[in-house]
Structures are given as C-alpha cells and as structure tokens.
Amino acid sequence: MAVRQLLGRGLQLSRALLLRFTAKPGAAYGWGRPGPAAGWGRGERAGRAPGLGAEARGFGLGLPERYRFFRQSVAGLAARLQRQFMVRARGGAGPCGRAVFLAFGLGLGFIEEKQAESRRAASACQEIQAIFTQKNKPVPVPLDMRCWQGFRLEDYLIGQSLGKGCSAAVYEATLLTLPQYLEKTKSTRLLPGRGPDVIPHGEDEQAAGAPAFPLAIKMMWNISAGSSSEAILSKMSQELVPASRVALAGEYGAVAYRKSKGGPKQLAPHPNIIRVFRAFTSSVPLLPGALDDYPDVLPPRLHPKGLGHGRTLFLVMKNYPCTLRQYLHMSTPSPHLATVMTLQLLEGVDHLVQQGIAHRDLKSDNILVELDADGCPWLVISDFGCCLADENIGLQLPFPSWYVDRGGNGSLMAPEVSTAYPGPRAVIDYSKADAWAVGTIAYEIFGLTNPFYGQGSTYLESRSYQEAQLPALPESVPLDMRRLVRALLQREASKRPSARVAANVLHLNLWGGDILAFKNLKLDKMISWLLQQSAAALLTDRLTEKTCMETKLKTLFLANLECEALYQAALLLCSWRAAP
C-alpha cells in the first residue's frame, strides 16, 4: 500500500507539472484550469483508459486483484501523460515515451516522499529537543551562595592545596557561613574579615557529621596584568568564559566588563563543563605551600624575590575529587565504561563548538572527575585560560603572524593548527580541533599511553604523524570505538567527524540496537527509536531520586538532537559494519 501511494503521488505531481508547462491558453486549456485529462472517469480509475492497448490492459493478468488494479492504473496514467505532452510536442510517441514519463512520475514520487519523511523526522527531533532542553540542568549553585554570599575572599575558609598549574593554584574551600565553621572560627579566634581563614588538612573532619570542603578556589598568578580590577578582568577574561551569570555581581566594574563589545563569550551551562560560581579580585594571601610551590609569582610583600602583583583574580567552583589523570592512575575502567567516558568528553566539546568556543588545551589534567552513587565517573572539562572565545571571529582565528596565540598544549594540538603557516589571509579553523584532542585522550581512557606524549618509537608529533603510525587499541575495545578513534585522528579536518556526529555514533553504538541494519536504515524507524528512548529517559528520571549516568547521557543526547547529524552518524556506523 505504501508503494502504491508513493507511485500515485508521484504521478499526480508529474501530471500537474506537465499540464502547467505544456498546456496552451484557450477555452479548454487556460492557465489555472484543468485540461480534458484533469479528471479521471470511473472507467479510467479501473484501468480502462482511452487509447490503452490490449497488451497494456492485460498487463496485470495472473496477479492478485489489488496488484492488477494498481498496474493497470499506472499504465493508464502513463498513457495519459504521454499523450498530453508528446502529442502537443511532436504529434505522437511510441511505447518508449510512455516508459520515460512513467519513470519521471516515479522519480517525482520518490523525491516528494523523501522530503515528506525528512520533514516529519526534523519536526519530531525539534519537539524532542525542546522537551529535554529544559531537563538538561547544570550543576546547581551551592545553597549558601544563593543569598549573595561569597563575593569576598574573607568569606571563605581555605584548606589545603589541590594542585597547581602553569598559571594558577587551586585550594579546597568552604563558606564561613556554615554553622560548624562559624563555631570553629570562634573556638580558634579566627576573625572573618581580616583575610581568608586557613585550617590544617583534616581539621574539618574532626567534628561529627562535618562535610568535606564543597568548593575549590583557583588563585590566578598575576605577573603582567597590573593591580587594578579592570586590568585583571581584561587580562584574564578567558578564565571567565564558564562563569555563571551572577559570578561577577560583587566585583567593581563588572557591569562595564560584561557589556564591553568584542569581549569573550559567556558559555551557557553544560553538565560536562565546569561552572564558575564566583569571580572576584582580591589581595594575594599567603596560602599553604605558597613559599615552596610558587614563590616567584608571589608579590614582594610576601616573598622578597617575588615578581607578582598585589592583587589577582579568584575563581570559586565546585570541588571535584580528582582529575582524569589521577582517576586513570587509580582505576582501570571497563571498555563499556571507557566508551561512556569518551562520549562525555565529546558531548562537552560539541557544546563548546555550538557556542563558538574552542578550548585549545584539552588534556587529562584539565578534565575533572566526580563519582556518582554507583562509582561511575562523570567528566567535566575545566581550565579555560587558553580558550578561543571571541564574539567577532568565532572559531576562525586569523593568523597573520607567529605572534598569534594558537592555544595551550602543543603536544595535543590538532594537525590543522600545528601545521598552520601565517600569512595575510591565513585562518585557523578550530571547529574540529578539540574533537581531535579527544581522540588522543581516548588512548589514555582505554589504558594506553597517549601516543602524542613521551619519547621513543611510539611517540608521534601532530605536525608530521601519519595515520598508519597510530597504535592499535586493545582488542577488548569495541570495534566501532576503535574505528571512531581512528576517524577522529585523521589529519585532514574535512574527513574528520564533528564532535556531534562522533557523539551520535557512540549513542547509537550503545543504545541503537536494530535500527542500524543498513538495509533497514530509515528515518521513520529512527524516529520511532528516538521516541522510545525519550519515553524511557523521562520515566527513569521520574522514578529515581538520583539520575544514573546513562540516563543523564541520554538526556544530553536528546537535548542536542539534530536529525541530519544523527543520520550522518548512522550512515557512518553502518558503513563501518558493512566493511569487511
């Protein structure tokens, strides 16, 4: 029945087009008026069209009645189309002309049906996306910060160092407004308002039921930004890209900074990207380990040989237990879990690309990990100090000279970036650079050494490596995952899948099931699968207090649903599975 409707629709459309472009103006064939063949008589609908030969009328003999009726109807309409056009054009035509017009009608029918199918699929994807966009909630702001707290360094109790990088040090912290810390402040005679309170590691756990430090404070090292708040915010603006809407509400000059034209973009929240709750400038304090870990960047009042300025930028974020590098040092995820972890990175990178931002410093040290109730890791991209987030240029960076900053980690710099050569019209496209970096990090997630780190025969350089030199992932890694990593590490960015398509490949690999049979890959079937996934995700979210990792990923997938990108991923995955 579907084929019959398809052919009938195509023939009707082709007939209407031919009538419009071949009919002559006049009493019987005026524009906007149907000609003699516009309406089908009762006998014609039964296959007895005038002028139809005996051979055509008997074409369907021996077939069931419904097929005979269909074939005769098609033959009758083909004859009409042939007469309507060819009689006027040449004065007549043979059976070959009839076949041409029948093929023309069939082609139009297929085109129209495909367009209608695409419209239905796109509409369904938009409706699903609208539903799950509202459920894709970012990391909540701590309760104590919702009452306009935490805009001064003196509001925090600072613990031990969590780590340091090339431009900042990070410390665990909590707000002094928590009752147990207010009591501790009184007992130790620490006075809020005279500087950040610093306590030894472990004292916060002495009181029964006292929580661990829920926050982390990142203190930037200020060597060249000056000591004014405006200069600091301008110089370190990239660090503020993931800041929340109210993060700078307590800082002088923040309104002018936010409204300045041509400044960095403000990143919309995403579960796989760090969120900065508070950002402010303050005097540099002497924190635990400062004299041993970073004495040269301290101001002279704290260290005689220090080169730093007296004020700097502080960022307040959620405290995550460890980085991805630390997690992989302690744990070895299963192939399935490693696939899910890689998928999380691709979801975060896709969000950046959609916002017109390139991270440019992706590495396992800049990815934070939080474990859920089941011990499954949730990955969060952090440290945006090297990002490209310019409102004016987006992801297309002009590269007129070597003085242009191309990003942070040179070892994990995509080939199109590392091999770029400056010139008057040179431009570096970062739209797939972070996805390439995810492909390199996948080696670490699956238990191998990153091939673009280290030395020796296994060490590769992004400038000169060949794809055949890439080491093979273990056989325990799913075949589709191995092929995806290879695809992400292709040297030519045009051949590399985008982060969205790569993420869709993993979603389909994990949960696609039977829709990936190449012969049965149809948009309508894919939409039915999407509706099933949507219902399951909504039901699971309502029945459980804490959403599991896979449900969160499905919610992310459905909130970023694009019909075209999903179909591209399905075709890519089917082509891999069809290959020998």
- Which amino acid, 516? L
Supply the mean pLDDT for the chain.
Answer: 76
Residue 493 has pLDDT above 80, yes or no: yes
Beta bridge partners of 323: 368
DSSP assignment of 19-67 equals HHHHPPSSTTT-TTS--TTSS--HHHHTT--TT--HHHHTTTTTS-HHH
Asked, colleague to colleague, whether 143-319 and 336-578 share their fold, the answer is: no
- Calpha distance 272→265 (Å, rounded): 18
Is residue 430 pLDDT above 80, yes or no? yes
The domain 336-578: what is its CATH number?
1.10.510.10
Residue 361 catalytic? yes
**Residue 359 or residue 100, greater confidence:** 359
Cβ neighbours of residue 494 closer than 8 Å, sequence gap 6 or more: none
Whether 531 contacts 561, CB under 8 Å: no
pLDDT digits (tens, 9 = 90+) for 516-558: 655 556 677 777 777 777 787 777 766 555 567 888 888 888 8
Distance CA 236, CA 276 (A): 14
pLDDT digits (tens, 9 = 90+) for 92-119: 455 555 555 555 555 545 455 555 656 6
CB distance 155 to 191 below 8 Å: no
Cα(426)–Cα(412) distance, rounded to whole angstroms? 21
| 196 pLDDT tier (thresholds 50, 70, 90) | low
What's the average model confidence in pLDDT over 355-365? 94
pLDDT digit string, tens, across residues 397-427:
999 999 999 988 888 999 999 999 999 999 9
Q: Which of 36, 13, 14 is CA-nearest to residue 23?
A: 36
Q: What tokens appear for 429 in the block? A: 């496209």
Task: Report the C-alpha gap between 17 and 35 in whole angstroms.
Answer: 13
Delimit the domains of the chain by residue range: 2-121, 143-319, 336-578
| CA dist., res. 492 & res. 490, Å (int) | 6
User: Domain 143-319 belongs to what topology?
Assistant: Phosphorylase Kinase; domain 1 (3.30.200)
pLDDT of residue 543: 59
Residue of 293, 303, 281, 264 lying closest to 218 (CA atoms): 281
Which residue is catalytic, options 155, 350, 361, 480? Answer: 361
